[in-house]
Structure 1
């Protein structure tokens, strides 16, 4: 006797299109309906599903929907932890949209693309089996994820703004790269760029006055301000000169750019403090790894969530996009392989950034990175970093499963 109802939901910003399939190979849905994607809509959805269960004498419900960012987050949470479907047992599954797309192709080469068809295929995927781990929701992890993803957005925006600033900087001060500032967006560097209208202003300024400017804006952090001043004047003398109209336009553009950069820098600092405060309330051992600061640990934790979702570190690496493609057929095996293009871009970012830091602070990771970087291969540095990040996945997987502090021999044991 059929006992499971498979409920596929195609989510959009306004509506949730629902298709309910019974067990077996029946193509005709038991019910189709549409509700609004808001709280009143899900309450109507709840009552209709319970009525359908009672009418057909079913006992279990499987809900399925695609991960569509903010549009699906409320519905998934309500289905998993807010709504009640008693006395019926229910589970929620959130699919990567690419899985549903490939599932459609496997059954129909030219299936139409509309909400009703998509809802049917989601329900059919539920019914076919091979499901991911059931969706669970954690308020603390969801809140941490909002903060770490916002930081990701701010950092990438800051990088874009900085790159745009550097294009204008070359026009204004073409030899600035050979100047004394390693970080072109440091407070002192930005002050030099903003407050000197042209390279001539730097050239004609006395070394003593330029030293005083550097000391004031650098808050006396430079060991040899005279050397900084002389390096600035040397770079200014070798730079191209701009005509006045062009110089005025470049200065205006850079002033606007610098205001945005300073604002983003402040936002990044505020987010760092918020992330650190939030992480302090979550028990974890990742920060015991040398170089794994609270920001990287928070980014990794918030994207992984429950480590039980992943059967092994290999599945976790694939989810993070830190797995390699394979090209083999018969006796042929491709020599080169590339990182897969799928995966969680936030998790990949935080694993990669963490690997950069860990290989600096931990001897075992430093040796591994140096060894891989020395191997004769294309893109040796990028390859070494990706492999180091993959090694870090194994360590993180181990620490999360055992809830233990980091010990270097644990890494050695995993490598054996």
Structure 2
């Protein structure tokens, strides 16, 4: 957890919402100079902070609508701090809670050097990262429809299973397998939506690939040099990381990617592990997928993995492999080196 410890004349805490925001500006002595509820309007915000622009820092708790205020502060040359919502809740939780109190608490934490920071993802790649996340969301929705078709087969205990229906040519006999007209209609609807998803996802992937080749083609190529990391995993890792230099150490990176668990200790005693849900879920998914695909058709890796499984069990062995891949990716991107299978398995 990193805290913002910069010293300024004025500290602005904002309790931000989609249409409203509550501003609280403190001076270096902690006196309230401004405490106001206002619309999320750029010009109104700049007018409100104008008397304090000489040496001002702005802090916002991380929520879905922070993009515009971060971009505005960057353009205006105002230092901006994005607070980590989970850690801030642990620090400033109290009995009473409203927008006015929250904005004041954010300003006080900012002044006292107690704002736990989240990464302010740069505007240049942010929209593409969100587009990639949207693509992955649509893939999961498509998978739900495919699962519904298979579950309907099981509900009616059909003589033959549908098998794999991921490809269009594998779905030819689905509707005709059922007798009830309502079930037939349900299957037709599922198949039409899946067909729409197929077309949309293909278009999305082409668009994102073009953007990746213009944003950072070297890192994208390096990621694909890893056995088991294809174009989708590579794109996910590329855009979730953005710049590997933002992680000072490999431990920071694998922790962010949810590839390690942290021990809970007190008075020399261990109370188990925790923190597995803190970090980037998208990177966790990408490295988990890469670990499974790394073993497919890879005989040297399978032999190495079998030894690991005998020692730790399959589940933990896969976690160790995902962690090892995460470490490899960190040093590959940092040193601009391609993946070396021999070095990885030794």
TM-score by length of 1: 0.72
Equivalent residue, structure 1, for 2:3: none
> Residues 75 and 192 from structure 1, CA distance in 2 versus in 1: closer, same or farther, beyond 3 angstroms?
same
In 2, distance between residues paired with 1:367 and 1:127? Answer: 55
The yes-or-no answer on 1:18 pairing with 2:3 is no
Deviation at 1:389, TM superposition (A): 1.9
- Deviations 1:20-41 (Å, cap 9, x if unpaired)? 12335x3x4221223322xxx2
Q: Which of 322, 330, 339 is the matching residue for 1:389? A: 322
> Residues 403 and 35 from structure 1, CA distance in 2 versus in 1: closer, same or farther, beyond 3 angstroms?
farther
Q: After superposition, where does 1:15-414 map in structure 2 within 5 Å?
A: 15-23=20-28, 26=30, 28-37=31-40, 41-54=41-54, 59=55, 61-69=56-64, 71-80=65-74, 82=75, 84-85=76-77, 90-105=78-93, 108=94, 110=95, 112-129=96-113, 131-132=116-117, 135=120, 137-139=122-124, 141-177=125-161, 181=163, 183-198=164-179, 247-283=180-216, 284=219, 285-330=222-267, 332-333=269-270, 337=273, 340-360=276-296, 366-377=302-313, 380-381=314-315, 383-408=316-341, 411=344
Q: How many residues align?
A: 335
Given that residues 276 and 295 in structure 1 are in contact (C-alpha distance below 8 angstroms), is that contact kept between their aligned partners in structure 2?
A: no
Where does structure 2 lack aligned partners over 5 or more consecutive residues?
A: 1-6
Given that residues 59 and 106 in structure 2 are in contact (C-alpha distance below 8 angstroms), is that contact kept between their aligned partners in structure 1?
A: yes
Deviation at 1:294, TM superposition (A): 2.4
In 1, distance between residues paired with 2:72 and 2:53? Answer: 19
> Residues 65 and 6 from structure 1, CA distance in 2 versus in 1: closer, same or farther, beyond 3 angstroms?
same
Structure with greater Cα Rg: 1
Deviation at 1:275, TM superposition (A): 1.9
Given that residues 170 and 176 in structure 1 are in contact (C-alpha distance below 8 angstroms), is that contact kept between their aligned partners in structure 2?
A: no
Where does structure 1 lack aligned partners over 5 or more consecutive residues?
A: 199-246
- Deviations 1:280-316 (Å, cap 9, x if unpaired)? 1122122222232222111112112222322222222
In 2, distance between residues paired with 1:321 and 1:144? Answer: 22
Deviation at 1:258, TM superposition (A): 1.8
CA RMSD, Structure 1 to Structure 2 (Å): 2.7
Given that residues 264 and 274 in structure 2 are in contact (C-alpha distance below 8 angstroms), is that contact kept between their aligned partners in structure 1?
A: no
Deviation at 1:398, TM superposition (A): 1.2
Query: Which structure's residues are more often strand, by fraction?
Result: 2
Given that residues 10 and 27 in structure 2 are in contact (C-alpha distance below 8 angstroms), is that contact kept between their aligned partners in structure 1?
A: yes
In 2, distance between residues paired with 1:46 and 1:17? Answer: 14
> Residues 308 and 22 from structure 1, CA distance in 2 versus in 1: closer, same or farther, beyond 3 angstroms?
farther
In 2, distance between residues paired with 1:45 and 1:62? Answer: 14
In 2, distance between residues paired with 1:176 and 1:338? Answer: 45
